[in-house]
Amino acid sequence: MIRRLVAPVLAIALLHLAGCGVPVEDEPRQITPPRSQFAPHGSLTPEPADSGTVEEHLCFVRDAKLVVVVRRVAGYPVPSAHLRHLVSGPNEAERTTNLVNPLSDGNIAAEVRIDGTEAIVEFRAEVDTTVRTDEILMYGQIVCTLTTRPDTTGVSFYQEGQRLGIPRADGSLSQGPLTRIDYEELIVDG
């Protein structure tokens, strides 16, 4: 019985040692697979467009509500550029979904800087802070947009070094810093 088992096991061991005709080498070597019609086209390494782009969130308006739009950009913009992208308004594809931008009508002249985790929006022109629905939406757009940044948790508004009282969604004024929560009731899914 043992002899019957020894012969097949010995045959399998010899085939295994023979390696199907592949010679044994002392050191590993780099293998370059041949290119064929069945080889995948492309690379296993992600392209920069896949791995190097980030999401830029902008808040526009539809039916008196704030709608968050996500755009893919090469790198995260500096705060002032982020605000300029917001003020420039929806692109053509976004406008086809009835998104509008009250900010582009207001010709906003402002600079943004980050202080700690607070975005400081400094207006260069006189700002009317009377509470109107479109004013609430305009400030809501700025707060909603800038607080999507990873470096920002709140937004304060200034003019000539003085902190401004800005309307929240409920119409009450706040000298900030304002957050997304202050406009949450106005924000809807895109």
Residue 140 has pLDDT above 90, yes or no: yes
Q: Amino acid identity of 171?
A: G
DSSP readout, 114-150?
A: EETTEEEEEESS-------HHHHHHHHHHHHHHTTST
Q: Which two tokens stand for residue 26?
A: 């002392």
Q: Which two tokens stand for residue 15?
A: 């085939």
Q: Does this model's pTM top 0.75?
A: no
Residue 49 three-state SS: helix
Query: Residue 26 has what pLDDT?
Result: 74
**In contact, 72 and 89? CB cutoff 8 Å:** no
Residue 78 has pLDDT above 80, yes or no: yes
pLDDT tens by residue, 30-74: 666 555 444 444 444 444 444 448 889 999 999 999 999 999 888
Query: Residue 163 has what pLDDT?
Result: 92
Of 66, 143, 60, the closest CA to residue 101 belongs to 60
Of 33, 40, 114, the closest CA to residue 77 belongs to 114
Query: Residue 175 has what pLDDT?
Result: 87
